Structure 1
Amino acid sequence: MIVADNETAVDLLYYEAIAKTVVRLVSQKSEEPLSVGVHGDWGAGKSSILMMVEETFSNQERVLCVRFNGWLFQGFEDAKTVLIETIVKELRGKRPNSQKVAEQAKKVLRRVDWMKVTRRAGAYGLTLATGIPHPETIKELGSAARDFVGKSAEEVSSEAVAALVKGSGEFLREVSVDNAPEQMQAFRAEFAELLTNAEIDHLVVLVDDLDRCLPDTAIDTLEAIRLFLFVPRASFVIAADEGMIEYAVRQHFPDLPVATGPATYARNYLEKLIQVPFRLPSLGYAETRIYVTLLLVLNDYGERSDEFQKLTELARELLRRPWKGPGIDRKAVEKLLGGVPVEVERAMELAGRIAPILADGARGNPRQIKRFINTMMLRLAIAEERGFRDELNITVLAKVMLAERFAPELYDAMARGSANTGKSKDLAALEAVVSAQPDEDSLPDWPNLEWAKQWASIDPPLAEHDLRPYVFVTRDRRSVFGAITSLGELDELVEKLQGSPLQVKQAAAEVTRLRSIEAEQVFDALRAKVRDSEDLTQEPAGVKGLAEIANQHPFLKRPLLSFIQDLPVSKLGPWVVSGWASVFSEAQVKSDYSKTLKEWAGQNDNKQLKAAATAAIKLIGKRAQS
């Protein structure tokens, strides 16, 4: 039904070319430390590229590829130490039977313990001054402290404390500021030796989601790479949005000047850490058209289908030189598949229509495009479950959703204009003008008119379609369908419509003047009050008001019938079977209400309602005969 919105090795955008370039660069520079940046907005495909790089290296025995996501650890651990511990763990896993690797890993991890100690210099100052270890300090003093940590306060004697301090004294003395450079140099040497002992020709660390991390976590991770791990035979591929990393630098170093020379300090910092930047390009029209086609075919056929696999290969060839054509060629598809299946034809047609606006509106971001398609497919699935899928044309829905997503004020105007009959006169006039067949001298006064003209020129025209089911299925963005607490000036009208029949009649003129969206708001408020009534054996206040609104705004007749049908049958009084003739006058609504009367007449849970419904049916029959 939908396409998963996460990183994937299924390459629909020919990002394999970028991944292969990264792999080639890393392989050529295997004897030198290297940092590569894969930059792009959120959803641009950075994580998918890292996955492709990882897959390429997966079968090389003397290459270790480590995936690290700092976002998973922020707030729980120090990013520097977690990154290093993750790499050491993967190295030991690569050579599980090597004693040399195990011993060298212990040395490296001891340096990691030192880094943890330096983070709590304040706590160690207390320790050195008093001779009493801080509780957090004890946890990080190595094996000498582990038995100590397990004891309760009553079990800890002065002799035990003295023994712990004596046993860890040498370790604590290493935590001096003056000793930090030597510690870092020693760590780098021991880490390089660990790579040698593990018989690893090349360590490739893939750092993902760094731009999602808090500033301190992002900077910690980058500094761990540069200060501790930047050794020969180690490469780092860092996926991040440049703008977010520059923001992290500014937050982490707030006292730095804004700029020096032609670049900001934040930019200089980033360029110092990342030697080779790759910037993912936004999708253009042709790429968007191909991408939408593949997403729709993937949704219809599945990833393993022959149709999808063949079309993906064709798309990859086209994406090598996207400037040469607008998208997937129908003749090529026919030759490739021995014909053009209906689903593929529909996908290609829809992609061609919506790609221009979708590419521009989503700014060429693959995730935004995918979410648009997923939302569309989800709404079609909901419509199918509700039983009106056959009333929706997918191309009409896509066009309505373009307005909803990229010009909400235009969408609202279209929804209001088509609320009563499903047809909008202003929309018809707009489409007539853009098709060079104007039936009036000027364009309608629609918001965002230039965008509206471009949108209206997309096939199919909407003027002849009943737009009510499309507005209904896209209604999740409109607050009028949510809970209503106060309607401002409309609250007074709601009160009148809850009054006596005479008060309701006097309010009819106000109801007539309501705009469609206001009528919906008042209708929803009254419906909620009727639903909350404790006694449904008598007609609740507000029912006459609901009938008046539906009479004046016919698009609410169907919702009113649905509301009546949903009321608990066992609690209803006879009032529910009378007074609806003028309201439920449209043929289909009238027919559905007649079916409901028959259901009430056939049930045995509410005898009073059963008798009233039976009498109503007889009366309707007599009127039909006369």
Structure 2
Amino acid sequence: MTTSLNPARMALWDDNPSAVDLLGFDTVVAAVEGALAVEGLDPLTIGIHAPWGGGKTSVLGMVEERLKGHSGYVVVRTDPWEYDDHDDVRGTLIAEVLHELEKKFKGDGEVGAKVKDLVKRVSWSRVTKAVAKGAITMQWDPVEVIEAFKPKARETPESMSGFRPAFANFLKDNLPQVKRVIVLVDDLDRCLPDAAMATLEAIKLFLSVPKMTFVLAADQEMVRDAIAASLDASGRSEIFANRYLEKIVQLPISLARLTADETSNYVALLLAAGSSPNNETYTSLVEHCRARRQAGQTPLLADLDRLAWRPDESLLKLADQIATGLASDKASNPRHVKRFLNAFGVRNQIAMTQGLTIAPAVLAKLYLLEDRFLNEFEHLVSLSEAERQELIAEWEEWGRRETEDRPGKVSEETRDWAAAEPWLAAEPLAPYLTLAASLTSLVAGANLTDEQAQLVADLSSPTETIRTDALGRIEGKALPEQRAVVAGLFGRVRKLETIVDLVSSLVEMAKARPELADEIADGIRQSCWHRLELRNALELAESTVPVLSGLADQLETDESVDPAVREAVRIARGQ
């Protein structure tokens, strides 16, 4: 039985890790499980590396689920990024491992007593930190303060210097039935540099003893940069960061980026979730693909007729259209794919509720244009219906290589988009384009003239010559017109993958027109703050406009900002 794509039942996917393996991560999970069974690798730290959205947390969850069946394993799941006590990440991680062991063996009084002794060392260390920071000095008796700073013998319960051998003996003598304590560490790449470094220190200096295993899910480059930033004062931070990470992680495993075929399969399986009659038929489809993947058979979505239910050809064709139409950086990243499908699904739902009938393939082609080529999409929105049909007809002829005359205001990069079916020249697009404009605050709905809209597009262009030309064109405009363009630029922020060029133009406009400086500074602080890049930080730090250099002061001290951006401000000021 086949079922056509039902737009009304299109599933939405959250950013939480996937519980269903649609990408063949089970091979990575099996590799981790196999490494844990090798007795010679003890202690062991495994790194699961992938960029943001690459599936690290999903893999970690699958590893946790797989290890639950091993009686000799104790599994601890932790996320340093979520710790309440950011001043003592090291102590929090150690305490979390100890408390998990205490909970696991709560019926064993000897284990409980031993854990309490070990926790005393961690607790005393954390108290000493608080005293050193002056946080609780007024509540302490002077004698107790002196005692807190007195060096402790390695064998005393208050000494962290003796923690590691005491912990090793505890695992060996008190927990002989435990083969491994496996700590799954997530989101290390989201931590501030000092917190990331403290986590690695806890692993290396205190917890790396026989029977201990750590599985770190992180973007390796981000963690390496965090180590370098934490040790920057040493003058050898980059070299040390590489060596430090290599010393800690004995078994690095990198999750591969999706290929074009894998993305198409992934999109098809996600779409199929909303079209399948029930969970059982959908599970059968997923298992069918998994079996073909393990057998090395391609394509995965073939030989479907023997299943009780299979997705319709229109769904598979739509999956191919989306997979090939997405920008390469998005198509290779599972989270980006899900976000695109969510936005696509929401658009379709809203269109249906407003009585608009539009084929999913047509909607997908339009949304791909909006997602990848916003300048061209905005231009399309601004045209009359007759002008729009004429442009699309010329555009698609050029895309199919029936002519070499590229239409005006259309970039060379859009040729493949124009060459892909379905053809839009004869489609009534006005209702959908009006809807899209209202949803995304496109310039056509922002009371901008065509000239102002073009300035907004050019000032956010990644091409420096285009931006420079636009800055020259806007310089002679009246203040109200310039203010409208500034508003248009800030309205464009959330639609761009990177805003580095847009912010550069705003910085130049504030320098050329001081009357705009305050609103530009406010807009950067409100709309762009956590997306500023290194170049923007340098531009703000070196700006002669006081309100912009004041933004650089705020960047430098705001710990919620990317550490590399804060460091760029310090470098620009020669600190």
Structure 1 length normalisation: TM-score?
A: 0.65
Q: How do 1:90-489 and structure 2 match up within 5 A?
A: 90-120=100-130, 122=132, 134-135=137-138, 138=140, 161=141, 165=143, 172-174=149-151, 183-196=159-172, 197-198=174-175, 199-257=177-235, 264-301=239-276, 305-320=279-294, 325-329=298-302, 332-337=303-308, 340=310, 344-358=312-326, 360-388=328-356, 391-417=357-383, 419-421=384-386, 423-438=388-403, 442-449=405-412, 451-475=413-437, 476-480=439-443
Deviation for aligned residue 1:56? 0.9
Moved over 4 A (4+): 74-77, 168-172, 481-484, 486-490
Partner AA of 2:338 in structure 1: K
Give CA deviations for 1:150-180 in whole Å, capped at 9, x if unaligned: xxxxxxxxxxx48xx47x876652369x999
Partner AA of 1:226 in structure 2: K
Kindly tell me: are residues 112 and 487 of structure 1, through their superposed partners in 2, closer, same or farther at Cα, counting changes over 3 Å? farther
State the match for 1:39 in structure 2. Answer: 49
Q: Distance in 2 between matches of 1:463 and 1:204?
A: 59
Kindly tell me: are residues 454 and 430 of structure 1, through their superposed partners in 2, closer, same or farther at Cα, counting changes over 3 Å? same
Q: Which has the higher contact order (CA 8 A, sep 6+)?
A: 2
Give CA deviations for 1:164-207 in whole Å, capped at 9, x if unaligned: x47x876652369x999x94452112222333424422100000
Kindly tell me: are residues 187 and 179 of structure 1, through their superposed partners in 2, closer, same or farther at Cα, counting changes over 3 Å? closer
Deviation for aligned residue 1:488? 12
Deviation for aligned residue 1:467? 1.6
Deviation for aligned residue 1:284? 0.5
Q: Distance in 1 between matches of 2:95 and 2:208?
A: 15
**3-state SS of the aligned residue for 1:50?**
helix
Q: Distance in 2 between matches of 1:481 and 1:213?
A: 40
Kindly tell me: are residues 119 and 171 of structure 1, through their superposed partners in 2, closer, same or farther at Cα, counting changes over 3 Å? closer
| Preserved contact between residue 74 and residue 213 of structure 1 (Cα < 8 Å) | no
Q: Distance in 1 between matches of 2:321 and 2:295?
A: 21
**3-state SS of the aligned residue for 2:258?**
coil
Partner AA of 2:367 in structure 1: M
| Preserved contact between residue 86 and residue 195 of structure 2 (Cα < 8 Å) | no
Kindly tell me: are residues 99 and 5 of structure 1, through their superposed partners in 2, closer, same or farther at Cα, counting changes over 3 Å? same
State the match for 1:512 in structure 2. Answer: none
Kindly tell me: are residues 102 and 283 of structure 1, through their superposed partners in 2, closer, same or farther at Cα, counting changes over 3 Å? same
Partner AA of 1:134 in structure 2: T
Kindly tell me: are residues 437 and 327 of structure 1, through their superposed partners in 2, closer, same or farther at Cα, counting changes over 3 Å? farther
Q: Which of 2, 18, 24 is matched with 1:8 structurally?
A: 18
Partner AA of 1:442 in structure 2: D
| Preserved contact between residue 181 and residue 213 of structure 2 (Cα < 8 Å) | yes
| Preserved contact between residue 389 and residue 425 of structure 2 (Cα < 8 Å) | yes
State the match for 2:564 in structure 1. Answer: none
Kindly tell me: are residues 448 and 325 of structure 1, through their superposed partners in 2, closer, same or farther at Cα, counting changes over 3 Å? farther
Unaligned runs of 5+ in 1: 127-132, 139-160, 491-517, 526-626
Deviation for aligned residue 1:272? 1.7
State the match for 2:558 in structure 1. Answer: none
Kindly tell me: are residues 9 and 246 of structure 1, through their superposed partners in 2, closer, same or farther at Cα, counting changes over 3 Å? same
1:19 aligns with 2:22: no
Partner AA of 1:356 in structure 2: T
Kindly tell me: are residues 411 and 317 of structure 1, through their superposed partners in 2, closer, same or farther at Cα, counting changes over 3 Å? farther
Partner AA of 2:290 in structure 1: R
| Preserved contact between residue 47 and residue 249 of structure 2 (Cα < 8 Å) | yes
Q: Distance in 1 between matches of 2:186 and 2:346?
A: 29
Partner AA of 1:408 in structure 2: L
Kindly tell me: are residues 185 and 483 of structure 1, through their superposed partners in 2, closer, same or farther at Cα, counting changes over 3 Å? same
Deviation for aligned residue 1:363? 4.8
Q: How do 1:417-566 and structure 2 match up within 5 A?
A: 417=383, 419-421=384-386, 423-438=388-403, 442-449=405-412, 451-475=413-437, 476-480=439-443
Unaligned runs of 5+ in 2: 1-10, 453-480, 489-575
Deviation for aligned residue 1:122? 3.2
Counting aligned pairs with the same residue, the percent is 32
| Preserved contact between residue 203 and residue 235 of structure 1 (Cα < 8 Å) | yes
Structure 2 length normalisation: TM-score?
A: 0.70
Q: Distance in 1 between matches of 2:442 and 2:393?
A: 26
Deviation for aligned residue 1:31? 6.3
State the match for 1:50 in structure 2. Answer: 60
Deviation for aligned residue 1:357? 2.9
Q: Distance in 2 between matches of 1:49 and 1:102?
A: 32
State the match for 1:581 in structure 2. Answer: none
Q: Distance in 2 between matches of 1:281 and 1:38?
A: 11
Deviation for aligned residue 1:452? 1.2
Deviation for aligned residue 1:298? 1.1
Partner AA of 1:188 in structure 2: R
Q: Distance in 2 between matches of 1:295 and 1:13?
A: 11
State the match for 1:542 in structure 2. Answer: none
Partner AA of 2:304 in structure 1: V
**3-state SS of the aligned residue for 2:12?**
coil
| Preserved contact between residue 30 and residue 233 of structure 1 (Cα < 8 Å) | no
Q: Distance in 2 between matches of 1:123 and 1:376?
A: 51
Deviation for aligned residue 1:319? 3.5
Which piece of structure 1 moves more, 198-207 or 378-387?
A: 378-387
**3-state SS of the aligned residue for 2:181?**
strand
Q: Distance in 2 between matches of 1:134 and 1:184?
A: 22
Partner AA of 1:253 in structure 2: L
Deviation for aligned residue 1:74? 5.8
Q: Distance in 1 between matches of 2:128 and 2:184?
A: 27
Q: Distance in 1 between matches of 2:387 and 2:207?
A: 65
Higher alpha-carbon Rg: 1
**3-state SS of the aligned residue for 2:305?**
helix
Q: Distance in 2 between matches of 1:337 and 1:393?
A: 27
Q: Distance in 2 between matches of 1:436 and 1:222?
A: 56
| Preserved contact between residue 43 and residue 212 of structure 2 (Cα < 8 Å) | yes
Kindly tell me: are residues 305 and 49 of structure 1, through their superposed partners in 2, closer, same or farther at Cα, counting changes over 3 Å? same
